[in-house]
Structure 1
């Protein structure tokens, strides 16, 4: 039996929303993102880490921990947006206290390295939002930003996609989990590991070698994570690399080969991940997935 979700209140105009950097430092200001959030009627609170620098990180581990903890605990903050990903969240996650956050849940937004937080918070039965981050706002498509607004304000979220020749047809309804493939594999064996059984899994990645994607998918298969899924949604696998001696399969072929023994629906090419058209999806929430020869429908 699935646990009851402890869903954060959806945002309303006048709410305070915090921006913090739990991982890599920002290369430039995020004024366009602040302006966007304010245009939605939100009051933006900036963390100390937004303009902090410690080598490649947005401040040292202690500062990044303290900054995120402040917003986890502050009852006036209704949502926390990670300014960017990169690397570094795993270095601080075990120092964070989620007790206040569990009592008064709030929306956590981000992708890429922020998968570490998505995965950890999944075990608290609190949904989170995989979507555009402030660093990416200047290059983001309007539909992707609008999808984030809808997710935050609790408006209807539905996606209709063109068919993909690689898709595995079928219909299912189950809670959505996932994130960046590399981070999901990295979380395995830790207290932050997600429960995959009976879920629809979303995966995306960037800048990986094809053989590494194959290796990570086989890791998920051998650890039993793929067998019990209700469905699979494949997002952007961007800037993939190959060796001088070709691997011999593209990402779609790699995934289909590893999942060929299973019979759940698989959607390829969902517009989420390291893309300008990175649409918001809600982890933890139940999703209806219907893949036919004519179209793909995903309803939250």
Structure 2
């Protein structure tokens, strides 16, 4: 099996790639990780200019000798190329799995909107840097290589449709050509490094946009590294989620084991079949 790795947003370091290669060689010696050199490019904030990131993603996705696409890192930049990149993908790309989270939710959303069947929210290469990052990387490989159910979020319900996003990322893509149809889905969201007032603002947008469209429910992942504001917001993250769900008629279905951390579990988009 050959897994292609690209960075549609921000770059990783060669040391990250080497650490992940070394780990994979022990746990999965039969696979080959193909890092596009674009992963290490730097152009201002981004892993190369827009056209460079676009070309790397499309080329890797369309290669018939690549079995899956694993995103290197989040950050910002994927929305600048997602629509055009997915439109340029061929049937060779449709059979591949695509795995990532955070800013890569822009691409996951567009792929899912366009009917790609193997799209999942889960750990990326850059997670190797985290405390216990090796566990996150191995979990990603367990899913990419073997679709190991143990790598997935344990609360996924058999027969239900799921989708997962970083809350701010989802809020920003609603109403754009990247937005997928989430009617009938259990939506799972997480957040990192946002003030609670910004979290509340994003929840307002997501809940009022998607509530009338028939979400099956919402689960809240971890909300971490919340900055301290100059005054208390007055509600914690779960209270905010419950409040907006109640206001908009969305069933609040509890917490979920996802987040910007090494414990981040995998959530395949679409219909879940246990076992």
Cross-structure match for 2:59: 70
Gaps of 5+ in 1: 1-14, 162-170, 288-298
Shift of 1:134: 1.1
Higher percent of residues as helix: 2
1:233-255 CA deviation, whole Å, 9 max, x = no partner?
Answer: 21121111242121100100000
The residue number in structure 1 matching 2:149 is: 156
Residue of structure 1 equivalent to 2:251: 264
Q: Which residue in 1 is equivalent to 2:139? A: 147
In structure 2, what is the equivalent of residue 9 of structure 1? none
Aligned to 2:120: 129
Range 231-240 or range 111-120, more displaced: 231-240
Give the TM-score normalised by structure 2. Answer: 0.87
Task: Please list every run of 5 or more consecutive structure 2 residues that lacks an aligned counterpart in the other structure.
Answer: none
What's the counterpart of residue 54 of structure 1?
A: 43
Q: What is the DSSP-based 3-state SS (H/G/I as helix, E as strand, rest coil) of the residue aligned with 1:53? A: coil
| SS of alignment partner, residue 29 of structure 1 | helix
Give the Cα–Cα distance (whole angstroms) in 2 for the partners of residues 103 and 64 of structure 1. 16
Give the Cα–Cα distance (whole angstroms) in 1 for the partners of residues 83 and 233 of structure 2: 37
Moved over 4 A (4+): 158-161
Q: CA deviation at 1:196?
A: 1.8
Q: Secondary structure of 1:223's partner?
A: helix
- Between the aligned partners of 1:185 and 1:101, the Cα distance in structure 2 is 30
| CA 1:205–1:54: 2 relative to 1, 3 Å | same
Alignment of 1:48-127 (within 5 A): 48-96=37-85, 97-101=87-91, 104-125=94-115, 126-127=117-118
- Structure 1 vs Structure 2 CA RMSD: 2.3
Distance 1:274 1:263 in 2: 24
C-alpha distance in structure 1 between counterparts of 2:140 and 2:108, whole Å: 16
Equivalent runs, 1:221-240 vs 2, <5 Å:
221-225=207-211, 228-240=214-226
CA contact (8 A) 1:127 1:282 kept: yes
Maintained 8 Å contact 1:25/1:53? yes
Structure 1: how far apart are the matches of 2:91 and 2:219? 29
Q: 2:234 aligns with which of 230, 244, 248?
A: 248
| CA gap 1:187/1:230 in 2 versus in 1, 3 angstroms | same
Q: State the Cα distance separating 1:22 from its structure 2 match.
A: 0.7
Q: 1:248 to 1:28 in 2, by over 3 A?
A: farther
Q: CA deviation at 1:267?
A: 2.1
CA–CA distance in structure 2, aligned partners of residues 249 and 137 of structure 1: 33
Following the alignment from structure 2 to structure 1, what is the Cα–Cα distance between the partners of residues 72 and 5?
6
Q: Give the whole-Å Cα distance in 1 for the aligned partners of 2:266 and 2:41.
A: 27
